Amino acid sequence: MPDQALYPPTSRELAQKRRELSPEIEAAFQQFSQKVFADGALPVKLKQIIAVAVAHVTQCPYCIKGHTKAALRHGASQEELMEAIWAAAEMRAGAAYAHSILAIDTMEAAQSPP
């Protein structure tokens, strides 16, 4: 077990098993994904850069790898991707900072006489 990775590598066999277990939902998801990442008001490159940033916030290793590769294929630079990742990091840290108000409010309430 120590040699086993936390996340197994993707494989055709695992993807096929997922399709076999729920083919209609799999097909619908693939169609949805294709529509989401098609050119629209936002170009594909920008959508993929956004996806890389979001993948870092959701901490999905498969999404990080897949969307990074897709962003590069659509012309994103390494610098653009790193800036997007930093923006995601700031947002995640910013959420902890903003939510500290909840802890402070709770501490204040605990000190107040009933």
Q: What pTM was computed for the model?
A: 0.84
Q: Domain check: are 32 and 47 in the same one?
A: no
Q: Please check whether residue 67 is in contact with residue 35, taking contact to mean a CB–CB distance below 8 angstroms.
A: no
Q: Domain check: are 49 and 30 in the same one?
A: no
Q: Domain check: are 86 and 99 in the same one?
A: yes
Say how many C-beta atoms besides its own lie within 10 A of residue 34's C-beta. 9
pLDDT by position in tens, the chain (length 114)? 455 688 888 899 999 999 999 999 999 999 999 999 999 999 999 999 999 999 999 999 999 999 999 999 999 999 999 999 999 999 999 999 999 999 999 999 999 877
84, two tokens: 């997007």
- Tracing tokens 């909840």 back to the chain, one arrives at 102
- Whether residue 1 is contained in a domain is answered as no
Q: Domain total for the chain?
A: 2
